[in-house]
Structure 1
Amino acid sequence: MKLLHIDSSALGGYSVSRQLTADIVAELQRNTAAASVQYHDLAAKPLPHWTPVADASDPVVVLGNQMLEEFLAADVVVIGAPMYNFGIPSQLKAWIDRIAVAGKTFRYGANGPEGLAGGKRVIIASSRGGMYASGPAAVMDFQESYLRTVFGFIGITNVEFVRAEGLNMGDEPKALALQSAQAAIGSLIAPEAKAA
């Protein structure tokens, strides 16, 4: 199994999404005989934002192609996606712009768009300061809805969320959120173990 691990939080050691992705990867490795992991910290080494550069030898184009090839080769993708201002961090959006590529991960046909990157499992560690999964603030959640949409657009229907929300609402809600997220991670099973 090839596993691609992406972190995007700018909070470093204080990041809940980073803690969760590390725990998710460790859990998957425990359940998988042979898991190779490719890791990218998009906050420490941010990708330049996408521009229509035509020169194939341009270092930015080469880096973007590398990101795309790693994504295409991965069986499982684990992504740390904190909510920033109701959406995702711009550094994560820059990575998505490198993997949502016409002719590679999607194409337009007679019946409209068709995803080409199916067959992968995507697990997203979603961290939020408030409560957005339900209730009045749910209409402001452009983080998870966007991620489901973009991965669905490129053909990935197996998208799972490990969610920790209410992190900035006090010590008790934060502790409960982390406990709930850890329980969700504990229930993750590698695809090979599911098939056994």
Structure 2
Amino acid sequence: MTKILYLKSSILGEHSASNGLSQKFVDQYLATHSGSELIERDLGANPIPHLTGEALGGFGADEADRSPAQVEAANLSDQLIDELKSSDVIVLGLPMYNFGVPSALKAWIDYVAVAGKTFRYTEMGAQGLVQGKKVYIFATRGGKYVGTPADTQTGFMNTFLNFIGITDIEYVYAEGLALGEDPKTEAVQSAEEQLEVLAAA
């Protein structure tokens, strides 16, 4: 049985292009892969608290030495890591906000990037502990950035995912969504055609 972790990171809910495309992919993937299990986290609607110094200090502390706030943060981190590590497929809806990833997604990353759990340092350097996963990222942008220095998202996500051990990453881009109705329609249609092929694989 395939287990899917579906992360939405847009703050726009049902009006979000990234939510719309990633949801279509998930629906079609579930239809063509019977018996799959889905875990869904809407980080935009239900954001994870941003990481604090106190929370970070509790990650590596003994439970008996943690403050109540540290216990809560560590338990949340463990839950998010368990969802990640137990999944076979990760689907991410990724809008571009001010040339970066949404802060809600960054908060999720900060809670799952924990030394000794999703990565470790060795004499040979960092080693990712989350392996054997397939990631599908549906990246939506108002302008056109792929292949330019302004596309900071792709490099950032690749760096993070590779760091924790994930290298099988598929991107579907829908760009130019703010450049007029025709470019928007063309970009969405192209992305939908791509996701249909990916969902059926």
The alignment's TM-score, normalised by the length of structure 2, stands at 0.89
Identity %: 43
| Alignment partner, residue 165 of structure 2 | 155
Q: Is the 8 A contact 2:118 2:128 kept in 1?
A: yes
| Selected match of 1:128 from 126, 141, 144 | 141
Matched-pair contact (CA < 8 Å) for 1:8–1:80: yes
Query: What pairs with 1:1-196 in structure 2 (closer than 5 Å)?
Result: 1-51=2-52, 52-54=56-58, 55=66, 58-134=71-147, 138-189=148-199
Q: TM-score, normalised by structure 1?
A: 0.91
Q: Which amino acid aligns with 2:126?
A: P
Number of residues of Structure 1 aligned to a counterpart in Structure 2: 188
As a proportion of its length, which structure holds more helix?
A: 2
Could you list the runs of 5+ residues in structure 1 that have no partner in the other structure?
A: none
Deviation at 1:61, TM superposition (A): 2.2
Instruction: Give the CA deviation at 1:56.
Output: 7.5
> Do 2:137 and 2:172's aligned partners in 1 also have CA atoms closer than 8 Å?
yes
Q: For 1:187, what is the secondary structure of its paired residue?
A: helix
Q: Secondary structure at the match of 2:40?
A: strand
Code of the residue aligned with 2:33 in structure 1: it is T
Aligned partners of 2:137 and 2:157: how far apart in 1?
9
Contact 2:25 2:199 in 1 (8 A): no
- Give the C-alpha shift of residue 175 in structure 1: 0.3
State the shift of 1:133 in Å: 1.0
Q: Where do 5+ consecutive residues of structure 2 fail to align?
A: 59-65
Q: Would you say the 8 A contact 1:56–1:62 is kept in 2?
A: no
- CA-based RMSD of the aligned residues comes to 1.4
Q: Is the 8 A contact 1:115 1:156 kept in 2?
A: yes
Q: Give secondary structure in 2 for the equivalent of 1:29.
A: helix
Deviates most, 170-179 or 96-105: 96-105
Distance of aligned partners of 1:68 and 1:56 in 2 relative to their CA distance in 1, 3 Å threshold: farther
Structure-2 separation of matches of 1:60 and 1:44: 19
Distance 1:69 1:172 in 2: 42
Deviation of the 1:48 alpha carbon: 0.6
Deviations 1:33-74 (A, max 9, x none): 211101111111111111224227622221221111111100
